[in-house]
Amino acid sequence: MAELGFPKRLNSSLHSQVRDLRRQLAHVSKALADHGIDFEDLADEAEDFMHGARKNARRAARQVRRDADVIAHAAQKAPAATGTVLVVAAAVGFGLGFLYHLAQRD
């Protein structure tokens, strides 16, 4: 018998929460409308923005993959030059870090 009461209470609680959310959404929509902002237009603009952001992220990921392939191919063709570039980059990074540390002490 107690098992049958649980779903009813849960269902009632969910309906109450949905009702409260709808009231809050109506309040927010009215507040935005009072300031000359249409909630539906705002939602459409946000959706368009997200679509564009996803598209740009995919494009950037493809470009990063292409660049990584080019770098890997160049590293395979000239391993000595790759090693030299990495050593020089590490030395420059160490030098900059050392100079930054000295500048912070003063």
State whether residue 13 is helix, strand or coil.
helix
pLDDT on residue 12: 82
pLDDT in tens, 57-73: 999 999 999 999 998 99
pLDDT in tens, 2-61: 445 557 777 788 888 999 999 998 888 888 888 887 878 888 899 999 999 999 999 999
